[in-house]
Amino acid sequence: MLPDLSALSSLHELYFETNRLEGTLAEKIMPLPEIQSLGASAKLLNVYLDLSYNSLVLEIDPEWSSTFSLDVMSFSSCKLGPSFPAWLQTQKNFSILDILAAQIIDAVPGWFWDQLTPNLRYLNVSYNHIHGSVPDLMYGNRPYIELRFNNFSGPVPSFPSNTETLLLRNNMFTGLVSFLCEFTNIIRIDLSNNQLSGELPDC
């Protein structure tokens, strides 16, 4: 198991590559305020990174390519923008991504939608200034999807039939709401303040 590193509060560099360590990395590195370089193998670690609800500014070189793969990424209220974070292109196996209020003023690149997998459980990109259309998102494991308070436009895309929560409030989505009949496990829907039309279906 990963050891307790809290006594090493002045540590600047930490490398774990090519070992057989187990545990949750975030719990071990949070007490290390001076850490600047980190190397770890995602195949051997349960990589969980939660920096939510801080005033952190994540200035990452757009040319940087990570050598690790995160399962959980939570960056609510951190500053990732104004551009959509290019380093996410290397993260292809995540189940949870939360970039709520991350000061992103950009369109979502196509590669991001393409890399969503059946493992997806939670996606929150709300309260940014993200624009453009959203393609059909047919992947997810009973997912929670939140795209609220952005500038998304175009027809409402298709979502997995087992979606449990779908929050699209305050965008510019258009089209009919007949897609509602496709859901089998939906618990919560918010389509308020869009440009939808037509009648509510019988379902």
| pTM for this prediction | 0.80
Amino acid at 162: N
DSSP-H helix ranges across 37-160 = 110-114
Q: For residue 188, with 0-12 CB atoms within 10 Å meaning exposed, 13-18 middle and 19 or more buried, which class applies? A: exposed
CB atoms within 10 A of CB 10: 9
What are the boundaries of each domain within the chain?
Answer: 1-46, 47-203
Q: For residue 31, with 0-12 CB atoms within 10 Å meaning exposed, 13-18 middle and 19 or more buried, which class applies? A: middle
Helix (H, G, I), strand (E, B) or coil at 88: helix
Structure token digits, residue 76? 């609510």
DSSP-H helix ranges across 4-98 = 25-29
In CATH terms, the fold of domain 47-203 is: 3.80.10
Bond before 82 cis per omega within 30 degrees: yes
Q: What is the DSSP string of 16-37?
A: --SS---SBHHHHHTT-TT--E
One pLDDT digit (tens) per residue for the chain, 203 residues = 878 888 888 888 888 777 777 766 666 776 777 777 777 655 555 577 878 887 778 888 878 777 677 888 999 999 999 999 999 998 988 999 999 999 999 999 999 999 998 989 999 999 999 999 999 999 898 999 999 999 999 999 999 999 999 999 999 999 999 999 999 999 999 999 999 998 988 88
How far from the centroid of its chain's Cα atoms is residue 168's Cα? 15
